Amino acid sequence: MQESSGERFDALVKIMERLRADGGCPWDREQTRQTLKPFLIEEAYEVVEAIDEEDTEQLLEELGDLLFQVVFHAQVAAERGEFTIGQVLAATADKMVRRHPHVFSDGTASTAGEVLEQWEKLKREERDAVAAVPGSALDGVPKELPALLQAQRLQDKASRAGFDWPEISGVIAKVQEELDELNAAMQAAAPNEIELELGDLLFSLVNLARFLNLSAEDALRKTIARFTGRFRYMEQTIERGGRRLKEASPEEMNSLWEEAKASGRLPLA
């Protein structure tokens, strides 16, 4: 008889308990919340990479690794007498039901935009109920997020609070304005101003991505992947001729770069 998902999850929890118990794994027993943080972040990024590469087998594996990190943190908490994995599951289930009244209660939301507005409203109400001071519409964006993703999430929240450009033309004009201000700072050779204006330009470009219904983070990741692939093709082609990349002329490197760009070639095997 095939095991149910619940039985398999329980088995995973038992494995974690055994790893942390007396006589378990020395490495697992030494871990703390702080030492586990890098692994949690790494596993999350490996899930993203598998999604970007559309590798379903790898995605299956990486989702399992990420889930194990969740179970690991819950086990640490249980040992400290704080909460259990069961409480994590119950709290998450309760939250999902509570924040989807249009599905589980008598709420109404017919579009994805209305769902997001309702979600943010309920989230603020929940936080205000326990906070000493009212929360901000920008609350809930982790400071540890990559900067592009953090910027876009903040802009999303500001927009839902009514602070936004009415048309994309305003966003494009803002990008040009910030570029002009960066140029002026560069002409003035003012390092502090250059950094500020560069940040403003990047923030405006993220806003443009949002208006285009694109993820600035994903767009940059794809550009990085293209750059890496083309660079490695150029690098490996030169090396197959018995030279190192730095020995090639700028014209030769540019020719190979354009060749890789036009053909969409990947690095050589």
Check pLDDT > 80 for residue 132: no
Distance CA 177, CA 110 (A): 38
Check pLDDT > 80 for residue 1: no
Q: pLDDT tens digit string along 136-178?
A: 888 888 888 899 999 999 999 999 888 999 999 999 999 999 9
Distance CA 183, CA 192 (A): 13
pLDDT band at 269 (very low <50, low <70, confident <90, very high): very low
Q: pLDDT tens digit string along 216-244?
A: 999 999 999 899 999 999 999 999 989 99
Number of C-beta neighbours around residue 14 at 10 A:
10
Distance CA 57, CA 54 (A): 9
pLDDT band at 267 (very low <50, low <70, confident <90, very high): low
pLDDT > 70: percent of the chain: 97
Q: What is the mean pLDDT of the chain?
A: 92
DSSP per-residue letters across 67-131: HHHHHHHHHHHHHTTS--HHHHHHHHHHHHHHT-HHHHSS----SHHHHHHHHHHHHHHHHHHH-
Contact 186, 194 (CB under 8 A): yes
